[in-house]
Amino acid sequence: MDKLRTQRYAESLEKVIQSDYHYLKGIMEVFQEKCQVVASIKNAPPRVVVEIPETYREIQHRLKEIAAVQQLLRAKYALYARRDPNRD
């Protein structure tokens, strides 16, 4: 019973990584577009200029979360986690 619970928890951690990956995939396009707008226009809208650092911080936060979850999977749940070279 405990083994099943541990395996499910490891799978939920993998799902966290997957959801963060998909989020980052989408937000990176938006982030790049905002950066291009600010770089190409002299008087960029102030809202876009404020959103760029916020988006950057969110991206960094998600990357740190992914790294922490991967480290946890490798250290504590290595028996239950699937190795995925693409994800690594």
- Which pTM does this prediction carry? 0.81
Residue of higher predicted confidence among 43 and 87: 43
Please state, in angstroms and rounded to a whole number, the distance separating the CA atoms of residues 25 and 30: 9
* Residue extents of the structural domains in the chain: 2-75
Residues 6 or more apart whose CB falls under 8 angstroms from that of 69 comprise 13, 16, 17
Calculate what percentage of the chain has a pLDDT beyond 70: 93
Residue of higher predicted confidence among 86 and 32: 32
pLDDT tens by residue, 10-29: 889 999 999 999 999 999 99
